[in-house]
């Protein structure tokens, strides 16, 4: 009986990890970790692992002793299935470089009220003169992004592949008196773009007229 159970440890662990990949693909879990274009590859990997697990189980190869590594791997897979990912975007952003590199684009084609937070950040970094946008309507959403040397911003995470290469971006917000912006809180802001003076230099700042708390979007990462 012990040998029969030992023989199933490896295929069971493989099957559990295959289930982790499939469940993550079929639910919203991967949206927190990986760009959508890569999701089918993860799902296919899960199918392959399940196929290998079935093949090894049918072969019925006998193990002479318990393989602790495979047993621990299976327990870890169970933990991953039971505890879905819940990353702190604000904490992650605080440890990442916000340089967009060559991704910065100048784009005046979208009406101001239709620009996302990412559109605004790219536009402001391409053409930073705040007088160009002073008074423009703003309708954006994002998470509260803490700053080490100032008030929190409204932020997003841009990814090329996954959270491992995430680039944080943010827009300065002139928060209303008495409003407490909590890290990782998702907000939708409607208002206008204004101008602030910081260390003798002008910069664009969002002037909120309406702030709403919203659930984290199903697809919080942006390309």
Averaged pLDDT for residues 212-219: 92
pLDDT reported for residue 3? 56
pLDDT of residue 108: 55
How high is the pLDDT of residue 1? 42
Q: How does pLDDT run across 98-146, given as a tens digit for each residue?
A: 666 555 455 557 888 899 999 999 889 888 899 999 999 999 999 999 9
Rounded (10°) CA dihedral 205, 206, 209, 210: -150
pLDDT at 6: 62
* Structure-token match 């929190």, residue found: 152
For residue 66, pLDDT beyond 70: no
* 177, 123 Cβ separation under 8 angstroms: no
pTM equals 0.76
Q: How far apart are CA 221 and CA 223, in angstroms?
A: 7
3-state secondary structure of 35: coil
Helix, strand, or coil (residue 47): helix
User: What is the share, in percent, of the chain residues with pLDDT greater than 90?
Assistant: 48
The domains found in the chain, sorted by start residue, are: 2-86 (no CATH), 91-222 (2.40.50)
**Rounded distance between C-alpha atoms, residue 182 and residue 143, angstroms:** 9
Question: According to the model, what pLDDT value does residue 5 have?
Answer: 60
Question: Poorest-confidence range of 42-51, 53-62, 104-113?
Answer: 104-113
Cβ contacts of 93 within 8 Å, gap of 6 or more: 145, 155, 157, 166, 168, 170
pLDDT in tens, 1-31: 455 666 688 889 999 999 999 999 998 788 8
């Amino acid at each position: 009986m012990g040998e029969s159970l030992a023989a199933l440890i490896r295929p069971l662990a493989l099957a559990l990890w295959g289930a982790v990949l499939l469940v993550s693909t079929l639910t919203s879990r991967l949206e927190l970790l990986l760009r959508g274009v890569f999701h089918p590859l993860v799902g296919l990997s899960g199918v392959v692992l399940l196929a290998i697990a079935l093949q090894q189980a049918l072969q019925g190869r006998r193990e002479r002793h318990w393989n602790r590594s495979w047993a621990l791997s299976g327990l870890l897979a169970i933990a991953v299935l039971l505890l879905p990912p819940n990353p702190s975007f604000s904490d992650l952003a605080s440890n990442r470089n916000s340089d967009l590199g060559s991704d910065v684009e100048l784009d005046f084609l979208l009406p101001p009220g239709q620009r996302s937070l990412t559109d605004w950040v790219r536009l402001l970094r391409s053409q930073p003169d705040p007088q160009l946008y002073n008074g423009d309507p703003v309708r954006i959403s994002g998470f509260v992004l803490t700053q080490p040397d100032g008030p929190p911003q409204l932020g997003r995470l841009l990814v090329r592949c996954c959270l491992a290469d995430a680039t944080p971006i943010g827009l300065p917000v002139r928060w209303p008196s008495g409003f407490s912006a909590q890290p990782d809180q998702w907000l939708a802001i409607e208002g206008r773009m204004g101008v602030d003076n910081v260390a003798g230099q002008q910069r664009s700042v969002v002037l909120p007229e309406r702030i709403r708390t919203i659930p984290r979007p199903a697809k919080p990462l942006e390309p």
